[in-house]
Chains A and B, each alone.
Chain A
């Protein structure tokens, strides 16, 4: 004790400071003394930066927490919330709405994405059935994500206009550009519910450290745990993809960043992963927003560019401990 508490407080402070800086920084610098309702620059803060920052924090936290929960559940440090197909399903839903040009109404795309996530989750639950088996769960997830991926590729190749194609490809890269309070209203309840469900898995994930037999003998109900994980991750990932597109690596990287501080116990990793995920995505999104590039660098691409080298470092470190 209590390195966890210290880390959580430090991450919270980091988020607070970054939010403040991020509200000021951007293509236009808005100092603190301009933060009054009658200043002409106030709408930039209230209507453009604020919702975007809130979304970055929410999506980052949900992805970080999902990643930590998935790694704990599968007992595999390389597990990622995208692994079980919900993000591909949500992306497919969004791509279908773009394909048919429904993106005109701002709420149609997220609604399609959420439907995609929901359908994928339902199929996953049907495939896994009442087995509670982690192997079936993983395989079903891999199958679903590859099927959804191939359907997405099909939609891209058959897109009616080059414009639709480019819209789909751009959307798939993931970003928080031009999000409004409507997106926050849509995503917040879903992400919050997902996070609450995942927060309940902590001690059960700890028990799973001892393997399935020992965990069951200690009173762990594998079906209940699987249900919490499936629904929790689906809500978090589905709502994240619906509002931000596919942003990879957050769920994979973040638990690894916090483990050196709080240890490997799965429940100890959950909260700091949520906070670190929020901070990571907030920093990354603030940077891509403030960078003086002609067209904004897509957040999804920025995260992938961070993720690749990170994976490499992870591999090298694992190789050293295995050797």
Chain B
């Protein structure tokens, strides 16, 4: 069974309980948005799923098997992580950077045709093929974000975990990136994405996981989870939810006091 699941994960960081018995399972082909206020444990949950943190209690199941029973290399082929504000430490060109995503697949004897094909597909999917020869420092913020996403896609993971991939992007690039995440899910992979903007979650997510203080507050389709009452309870803001004439749901938040 190819699911990714968290089984009552608990983790303390710096004396604070960041995750408290969090259980969730994720399904391939769907986009799950992880939402919640700052410090709710969204990124930590992603880290646990990606194996960067080891939970104190509970476990992560990958394809029905506990994480620990997988080798690092096989796990890396299963799960691709796009970390928050991903840095690039050496100014390499775009094609080289995207090819780094093949790390879990590559052998000591260099690039195979499969590697080259996967890199080309990833670059086409994120629309960065035309930048292939450009150095990373010559890209705009939006182009850079797409290249970094292409890097993860080049690894052809069954699960894409993205931690705030929309930060620092303008509205057009935000929508482009969301569309790209949808495409990834359409191609059969499971997408788990940490988002801050509730509108983005409504737009992209099949499923929403709402966290607060390290616990799951609600889980389900965005229309069911994101109600004004829940938004008030978790974020401490008033909200108005509406629908545009062409059927796109949106949410406007205002401070509590002004109500």
Contact = CB atoms under 8 A, between A and B. Distances in A.
Contacts of A296: none
Contact of A219 (B73, B89, B96): B73
B104 A219 contact: yes
A213 B104 contact: no
A210 B72 contact: no
A214 B86 contact: yes
Contact of B87 (A206, A211, A217, A263): A211
Contacts of B93: 263
A76 B76 CA distance: 26
Nearest to B71: A219
Given A216-B51, A217-B50, A219-B76, A209 B92 contact: yes
A209 B155 contact: no
A266 interface: yes
Nearest to B151: A210
Contacts of A214: 81-83, 86, 151
Contact of B90 (A213, A216, A264): A264
B233 interface: no
A207 B155 CA distance: 12
B76 A218 contact: yes
Contacts, number: 71
B101 interface: yes
Nearest to A321: B137
A41 interface: no
Given A218-B76, A218-B104, A219-B73, A208 B89 contact: yes
Per DSSP, chain A at the interface is loop
Interface string B63-78: 0000000001101100
Nearest to B49: A217
Contact of A263 (B73, B81, B92, B101): B92
Given A203-B106, A218-B101, A218-B103, A266 B90 contact: yes
A322 B87 CA distance: 17
B52 A75 contact: no
Contact of A265 (B79, B96, B101): B96
B91 interface: yes
B97 interface: yes
B190 interface: no
Nearest to A208: B89
A284 to B, nearest CB: 28
Most A-side CB within 10 Å, residue of B76, B79, B82, B89: B89
A20 to B, nearest CB: 33
B57 to A, nearest CB: 22
Contacts of B104: 218-219
B86 A220 contact: no
A47 interface: no
B139 interface: no
B90 A219 contact: no
Nearest to B87: A211
B241 interface: no
B100 interface: yes
Contact of B52 (A208, A216, A221): A216
Contact of A213 (B83, B97, B103, B151): B83
Given A218-B76, A219-B72, A265-B92, A209 B100 contact: yes
A310 to B, nearest CB: 20
Interface string A176-206: 0000000000000000000000000001001
B55 interface: no
A217 B86 contact: no
A209 B172 CA distance: 28
Given A217-B51, A217-B80, A209 B90 contact: yes
Contacts of B103: 203, 206-207, 218-220
A152 B73 CA distance: 45
B88 interface: yes
Interface in B77-136: 79-83, 86-93, 96-97, 100-101, 103-104, 106
Most B-side CB within 10 Å, residue of A206, A208, A216, A217: A217
A209 B155 CA distance: 16
A207 B100 contact: yes
A195 B37 CA distance: 49
Contacts of B148: 210
Contacts of A220: 103
Given A210-B88, A217-B51, A264-B91, 16 more contacts: A203-B106, A208-B89, A209-B92, A209-B97, A210-B97, A210-B148, A214-B81, A214-B151, A217-B50, A218-B104, A219-B72, A219-B73, A220-B103, A264-B92, A265-B92, A266-B90
26 contacts: A203-B103, A206-B100, A207-B100, A208-B89, A209-B88, A209-B89, A209-B97, A209-B100, A210-B88, A210-B97, A210-B100, A210-B151, A211-B86, A211-B87, A213-B81, A213-B83, A214-B82, A216-B51, A216-B52, A217-B81, A218-B100, A218-B101, A218-B104, A221-B72, A263-B96, A264-B90
Closest 10 CB pairs of A and B: A219-B76, A217-B81, A75-B89, A264-B90, A213-B83, A219-B72, A218-B103, A219-B73, A207-B103, A211-B87
